Chain A
Amino acid sequence: MSSALLWILVPLALGVALLFYSRQDAFPGLLASLTCLFLSLAAWQLPLDVVMQLGPFTVEIAPSFIMLGRSFTLGEAQTPLLAFIYLLEAFWLLGAFFAKPGRLFVPISLICVGLLVASLAVEPFLYAALLIAVAAMLIIPLMVPPGSRPGPGVQRFLKYQIFAVPFILFTGWILSGVEASPGNLDLVLRAGLLLALGFTFLLALFPFHSWVPLLAKECHPYVFGFLVFFLPSIALIFGLGFFDRYAWLRDGNFAYPLVVWAGALATLLAGLWVAAERHPVRMFAFAAMANIGFGLQAVGLGGVQSAQVFFALWLPQALAMWVWATALGAIGSDQLPGRVSDSPSIPSTHPGLAASLLLAAFSLAGLPALGGFPGRLALLDGIAAVSPLAAVATLAGSLGLLIGALRMLVQLMPREQGGRQKWTEEAEVDKPPSHRIQMTGLYAWVLLAISAVGLVGFGVLPQLFLSSVPGMAAMFTQLLP
């Protein structure tokens, strides 16, 4: 057996099989979640390339799998990342019970994660662009459910993801020339330009970011959250791979500052938009864009620091994004108001969800004692050493996120209106009983407990919660000292 079969083919096959399961019950979600937990545990515990005795059977998991003349390799170095990817997918699958993004979410998300893992495994690694494009296309049926018309956000998303493919694949061809003659500035410039354009499309960087806020309003918040977390995360890890593999990129004096500044611009703009935004889902969309900016800046730090800071940011971001998307999905698109201020009933009918939303928003803003803080501090420290101006832009972006989170807090607070607390009255009198049932809904409190333990844990006990970061960063062997 090979690792690619276990961590790529198993989720793909299960996802395809579950597409044909048409009954609307919990079976597909439970089966897929348990499979992902098993895959996560296997990545964490199973040794690769070692013969194991399982009763009468001997099993050996080979790290490589050859398909059509190319190899898919998942070695020991990748297993910590694999463990987290499948753990996160299990979280997203379990959250789907609560957020209800539709029957197809379970199989399609499983297939997407399988493809994204394949994109991390394929050699030559540039082919990852094709696998990421296939995964991006697969999510589209989730965004446009039957009976609805595709909006401009979906159209732009499709266009930009496909546009990214030629740029990245052509870069590979030019890079082979650059490796042969690294002193050829003309080649280096062309390769850098193509690569920058490819990643600008792939990561929805300014000015190709417009699909993000549009799509946020067009599709289910949970599906949107899954998309804006997994796709950019894998694309950023793919981007780190470029620096890991190409010495001329690491040694050149233009690549790291360019990436840092692209990230700073993304963070600054997203932060400003979050601060000015009132729609809760669009706020989430801009926060996701800010995360991409932070990740990009971490990549631009260079050396071992880049991978470590990237994963230190990524883990709490993953939890916060999941919590935010689950809470928005559970509140329901139909109940989501145009503005948070129009929704005095949310904290009364969904207190657990409102608290989870706030925790996630403050964590993504980098508030001390919450998950985002240790990674953000390390990032700012590193960026300030490289470019103080970029650090100021990053800080301003973080401030925008904080203002957005504070605005959410203020607007979710109960307000006195004419001597009585309007939201309380509404909760007791105006709302149908089903809303009050959700008030004590077990799922909401479980979500709050997970977000509180996880996000506060990442912030207060980073040595414990972020202990896996060096192991994950070790997959980029050339970035290590």
Chain B
Amino acid sequence: MENTPLGFLILALLVANCLALLLSRDWRWSLAALGAQYLLAFFLVSVYWPLELAAVKLVGGWMATAILGMSYLNMAEQPDESAGFPRSRGFLGLAAGLVIIIVVGAAPALAAWGRQFTGSEAWGGLLLIGLGVIQVGLGSRIFRIILGLLTLLAGFEILYASVETSILVAGLLAIVNLGISLIGSYLLLAPGMEPRS
């Protein structure tokens, strides 16, 4: 997918989507962006993997998104996240800009060194990993941490897909994604649950 218009389009959409995921404060928009992120990751992974195997990542990712959404639907409306430092949009945008600059420098080097990756996959994978780490590092709430971990893993899966095509690994990574989502859902709901005697 390197240097094709479609490759550039997917990367541009991925950047916009990642920024939306990072900057949105409403959980509905965040989850919509997460769902779109898995679709874009699916396009990048399908370059290396058969369509039916790549679809595992898409379905697994959407299931993880749905689990988080269902949890939020069962919770009382939560107050918005603090807009102060370090969750202010300005600071997050600056951090995202730094990640993009690093990725612009690192992706071609990774593609040249790794040989298995094309530029688009290296770009997409590193971008998601970088922004996932920012979400995990700067998120104070469980929801943000879970979104960050899922984003990080999605980036890793894009890169790893080019070097590993095992069905078992695809299944285990899908289980890890679903597990993170289920654990996140449990941690979101646990404070409101009835304590067991």
Q: How near does chain B come to A48, taking the closest CB pair, in angstroms?
A: 23
Q: Say yes or no: A166 contacts B156, CB within 8 Å.
A: yes
Q: Are the C-beta atoms of B164 and A173 separated by less than 8 Å? A: yes
Query: Given the complex of chains A and B, what is the CA–CA distance between A103 and B145 in angstroms?
Result: 28
Question: In the complex, how many angstroms separate the beta carbon of B192 from the nearest chain A beta carbon?
Answer: 8
Are A127 and B168 CB-contacts (below 8 A) given A137-B179, A159-B136, A159-B145? Answer: yes
* A150 at the B interface (CB under 8 A): yes
Of listed B173, B176, B180, B195, residue having the most chain A CB within 10 A: B176
Given A68-B167, A69-B166, A159-B136, does the pair A141, B186 have CB atoms closer than 8 Å?
yes
Please tell me if the beta carbons of B171 and A68 are within 8 angstroms of each other in the complex: yes
Contacting A at CB under 8 A, from B139-170, are 142, 145, 149, 152-153, 156, 159-160, 163-164, 166-169
| Residue A321 CB within 8 A of the other chain | no
1/0 per position for B96-131, CB-CB distance to A under 8 A? 000000000000000000000000000000000100
Residue A158 lies at the interface, judged by CB distance under 8 Å to chain B: yes
Assuming A130-B176, A148-B195, is B149 touching A158 (CB within 8 A)? yes
B76 within 8 A of A: no
Is A245 located at the chain interface by the 8 A CB criterion? no
Task: Contact check, A144 vs B176: say whether CB atoms are below 8 A apart.
Answer: no
Interface size class of B (residues with CB under 8 A): 20 to 34
A70 proximal to B (CB < 8 A): yes
Q: Which of A103, A149, A165 contacts B176 (CB 8 A)?
A: A165
Residue interface mask A140-179, B partner, CB < 8 A = 1: 1100111111100011001100110110011011000000
Q: A155-B145, A159-B149 are in contact. Are A134 and B187 (CB under 8 A)?
A: no
Of A69, A147, A169, the residue contacting B195 (CB under 8 A) is A147
- In the complex, the chain A residue whose C-beta lies closest to that of B195 is A147
Across-interface contacts of A144 in B (CB, < 8 A): 186-187, 190
Cβ of B12 within 8 Å of any chain A Cβ, yes or no, is no
Complex alpha-carbon distance, A297 and B14, angstroms: 44
Encode contact with A along B16-36: 1 for CB under 8 Å, 0 otherwise: 000000000000000000000
How far apart are A366's CB and chain B's nearest CB, in angstroms? 37
Whether B160 lies near A149 (C-beta < 8 A) is no
**For A170, what are the chain B residues with a Cβ–Cβ distance below 8 Å?**
156, 159-160
Tell me the complex Cα distance, A148–B186, Å: 11
Query: What residues on A are CB-neighbors of B156 within 8 Å?
Result: 165-166, 169-170
A190 to chain B, nearest CB (A): 9
With A144-B190, A146-B190, A150-B190 already in contact, the answer to whether A130 and B172 are too (CB < 8 A) is yes
Count chain A CB atoms within 10 A of each CB in B149, B160, B169 and give the residue with the most.
Answer: B169
* Distance of B182 from chain A, by nearest CB (Å): 8
Cβ of A137: which chain B residues have Cβ within 8 Å of it?
176, 179-180, 183
In the complex the two chains form, is B172's CB within 8 Å of A166's CB? no
- For the complex, give the distance between the alpha carbons of A127 and B169 in Å: 7
Asked if A131 lies at the interface with its beta carbon under 8 angstroms from chain B, I say: yes
- Bound CA–CA A170/B186 (angstroms): 30
Question: Would A134 and B175 be within 8 Å (CB), given that A68-B168, A144-B187, A150-B187 are in contact?
Answer: yes
B191 touches which of A149, A158, A169 (Cβ 8 Å): A149
Contact (A147, B191) CB under 8 Å given A68-B168, A165-B176, A173-B163: yes
Task: Assess A162 versus B169: contact at CB under 8 Å? Given A146-B196, A147-B190, A147-B193.
Answer: no
Q: Are A154 and B190 in contact (CB under 8 A)?
A: no
Q: Does B194 sit at the interface, judged by CB under 8 A?
A: yes
Report how far A37 CA is from B169 CA in the complex, Å.
32
Contacts A144-B187, A150-B142, A166-B152; A131 near B196 (Cβ below 8 A): no
Query: Which A residues are in CB contact (< 8 Å) with B159?
Result: 170
Q: Which residues of A in the span 175-195 have a Cβ within 8 Å of any Cβ on B?
A: none
Q: Are B167 and A102 in contact (CB under 8 A)?
A: no
Whether B190 pairs with A148 at a CB distance below 8 angstroms is yes
B173 touches A155 (CB 8 A): no
Task: Please tell me if A298 contacts chain B, counting CB pairs below 8 Å.
Answer: no
Q: Are A134 and B160 in contact (CB under 8 A)?
A: no
Of B152, B176, B183, B191, most buried by chain A (CB within 10 Å of CB) is: B183
0/1 interface trace, chain A 112-150, chain B, CB 8 Å (1 if under): 000000000010000100110110011011001111111
Report the nearest B residue to A103, measured CB to CB: B196
Cα distance A163–B186 in the bound complex, in angstroms: 20
Asked if B196 and A140 sit within 8 Å, CB to CB, the answer is no
Query: Which B residues are in CB contact (< 8 Å) with A68?
Result: 166-168, 171
Segment 11-58 of A: residues with Cβ below 8 Å from B = none
* B160 contacts A154, C-beta separation under 8 Å: no
The answer to whether B149 and A162 touch across the interface, beta carbons within 8 angstroms, is: yes
For residue B164, which residue of chain A has the nearest CB? A173
Closest to A187 in B: B113
Q: Are A146 and B166 in contact (CB under 8 A)?
A: no
Q: Which residues of B contact A172 (CB under 8 A)?
A: 164
Quick check: A149 and B190 within 8 Å, CB to CB? yes
Q: What is the chain A residue whose CB lies nearest that of B163? A: A173
CB neighbours of A141 from chain B (8 A): 183, 186
Bound form: Cα–Cα A236–B28 in Å:
42
User: Residue B196 contacts which of A102, A130, A163 (CB distance < 8 angstroms)?
Assistant: A102
- The complex places the Cα of A320 from the Cα of B183 at a distance, in Å, of 31
Chain B residue contacts of A464, Cβ below 8 A? none
Q: Which of B153, B166, B167, B179 has the most CB of A within 10 A?
A: B179
18 A-B residue pairs with CB within 8 Å? A127-B166, A130-B175, A133-B179, A140-B183, A140-B186, A140-B187, A144-B190, A146-B193, A147-B194, A149-B190, A149-B191, A150-B142, A150-B187, A162-B176, A165-B156, A166-B152, A169-B164, A172-B164
Known: A70-B168, A146-B195. 14 other contacts (CB 8 A): A103-B196, A127-B166, A127-B168, A127-B172, A133-B176, A140-B186, A146-B190, A148-B195, A155-B145, A162-B152, A166-B152, A166-B156, A169-B156, A169-B169
